[in-house]
Amino acid sequence: MAKKQIHLNDIKRMAQHQYYCEECGKHLFDSDKDGGAAGAEAQQKGFVFKMPILFGIEGCHFFCSKDCWNKWLNSHTTEQERADGNRSAREIRQRMEADKPKLIEGLQRIQRAFEIARNRRKK
Ligand SMILES: [Zn+2]
């Protein structure tokens, strides 16, 4: 019996993920990526990608628009959960803002270390 040939196109098709808006069901795009990489692709294409862990929801979620995302969030969370989630998001943003000078200093230090290493190699 002849072995079934697997063509490159079959492999490509198997690796394809189809992404739909989780609220209205509209087909958004196909991609061989998943998780955060697919999220970045969705955002590039103008769609909404969310990992609503702050609202107590795990995983990656895709939406065609902000409207759909808000509708979906409203139907999957309570008012209290949304208030808590928004407060956490605000706190994280503030903390990141406060840490920014430290972050920039760290990056500059790394850059200097690279330059020193590069100059050393030239000699
Ligand atoms: Zn939608």
Q: How far is the CA of 72 from the centre of ligand 1 (A)?
A: 9
- How far, in Å, is the centroid of ligand 1 from the Cα of 47? 9
Q: What's the pLDDT tens digit per position in 27-59?
A: 999 999 988 999 999 999 999 999 999 999 999
Q: What CA–CA distance (Å, rounded) separates 67 from 111? A: 42
Which pLDDT score, from 0 to 100, does residue 37 have?
A: 93
pLDDT at 12 over 80: no
98 Cα: distance to centroid of ligand 1 (angstroms):
35
pTM score of the predicted model: 0.69
Alpha helices, DSSP H only, in 1-123? Answer: 8-15, 35-44, 66-76, 79-122
Q: What is the pLDDT of residues 60-105, one digit of tens each?
A: 999 999 999 999 999 999 999 999 999 999 999 999 899 988 888 9
Interval between CA 74 and ligand 1 midpoint (Å): 14
Q: Tell me the percentage of the chain whose pLDDT exceeds 90.
A: 59
Spatial CA neighbour of 66 closest among 29, 23, 28: 23
- What are the distances in angstroms from CA 88 to CA 4, 50, 51, 55? 53, 15, 14, 9
Place of tokens 């990141």: 96
Taking only the tens place, the pLDDT of each residue in 15-29 is 789 999 999 999 999
Q: In whole angstroms, how far apart are CA 122 and each of 85, 110, 111, 117, 118?
A: 52, 19, 17, 9, 6
CA of 62 to the centre of ligand 1 (A): 9
